[in-house]
Amino acid sequence: MKNSIIILSLLILMALVFGCAKQIDRTDDINEVATNSDEELPIVPEDAAEETDTPSDIICQKIPLTQQLSKIDMNYCFAVVNHNPEICREIEVDSGDEEDEANKNICLAVASEDSSYCEKIQDPSPKHVCYYQLAVISENINICDEIDYDQNERLQCYFTFVSNLYWWDKSDDITTEYCNKFPAGQPDRNTCLAFKERDVSLCNNNINCLTFFKQDMSFCEGKGSALKDCVRDRAMTDKDVSICETLTGEKRDDCIGDFCTHIKLDTSICDKISGDMERQSRYVEVAINIANNVRGDG
């Protein structure tokens, strides 16, 4: 089975553009999940063997969660949390396997904070998410400027960047310059300014902006496809994971996954996700978020 690096990148892109929440504690309350005794213990990548005692590394050691899932995610997890691209180079890619080659380049790009690896990817989908994830994790919105071949994707990259800052209660880091990257008169510029000031009045009644702020459940009534993630947004803004249980299937899993990676970095909450691949991708995301938060506090 293929790994979930691209899935993780897409989750960062699509699943995090909603409701604000108080920034979580940096390293507290990180729950470990017991490894299945019937499965082999994963082999830690050689270059990560000496750095396996941090909360993030402990989570990375649990990858893959099942024998059916790819071990490439383990290399990616260790490489990114330790900013060690040498671990990415341990990833073996079969000749002609474009997906694994793309994932290796994403790993190298993010771990080394070098966008030249994104340029090597031919497939538009992983190429886009390489830039998105590199921008967010390196905290450098100017990475998005390099998406000069697709204006819509570039604007989406900007929005992903500022919404993540807002989501992590870092509105003070959002600058007017960031917001000016959106064309004048477009709703996303006002949404960016609303993020910056944490002021719902700047949404100008735009429901795609209003959903980032605390609303009653009745706000979702009649919105339909206009706000397909409205209930999830309410769970996030209310910091109440039980709201996710009102959803079913993939929407429920997405809601729980977003909660366990942003409201409370807690793999025991992620364990409620039914899909193995998505649950594994959320483990990796928890590990990366913890490492970035600790690094930011340092």
DSSP 119-182: HT--SHHHHHHHHHHHHHHHT-GGGGGG-TT-HHHHHHHHHHHHHHHHHTT-GGG--HHHHTTS
> What are the sequence ranges of the domains in the chain?
5-297
| Tokens (6 digits) for 74 | 């383990």
Q: How far is CA 75 from CA 60, 154, 263, 266, 281, in A?
A: 8, 28, 26, 21, 13
| Whether the bond into 64 is cis, omega within 30 of 0 | yes
Residue 71 identity: K
Q: Distance between CA atoms of 221 and 223, rounded to whole angstroms?
A: 6
Tell me the torsion sign for CA atoms 222, 227, 229, 231.
negative
**Conformational region of residue 124, where left means phi above 0, alpha means psi within -120 to 50, and beta covers everything else:** alpha
Q: Which residue has the higher pLDDT, 106 or 46?
A: 106
Contacts of 286 (CB under 8 A, 6+ apart): 30, 59, 260, 261, 265, 266, 267, 270
DSSP 239: T
From the CB of residue 192, how many other CB atoms can be counted at a distance below 10 Å? Answer: 28
On whether the pTM is more than 0.85, the answer is no
pLDDT classification of 183: cutoffs 50, 70, 90: very high
The pLDDT tens digits for 238-264 are 999 999 999 999 999 999 999 998 888
DSSP 263: I
Q: Distance between CA atoms of 189 and 187, rounded to whole angstroms?
A: 5
The full length of the chain comes to: 298
| Tokens (6 digits) for 68 | 């059916």
Q: Which residue has the higher pLDDT, 40 or 219?
A: 219
Residue 154 has pLDDT above 80, yes or no: yes
| Residues 223/197/110/293 CA torsion (nearest 10 deg) | -110
- pLDDT of 228 reads 82
DSSP 16: T
CA 159-224-124 angle, 5° bins = 40
| Residue percentage of the chain with pLDDT more than 70 | 81
Tracing tokens 């729950």 back to the chain, one arrives at: 31
Q: Angle at which helices 276-297 and 5-14 pack, to 10 degrees?
A: 70
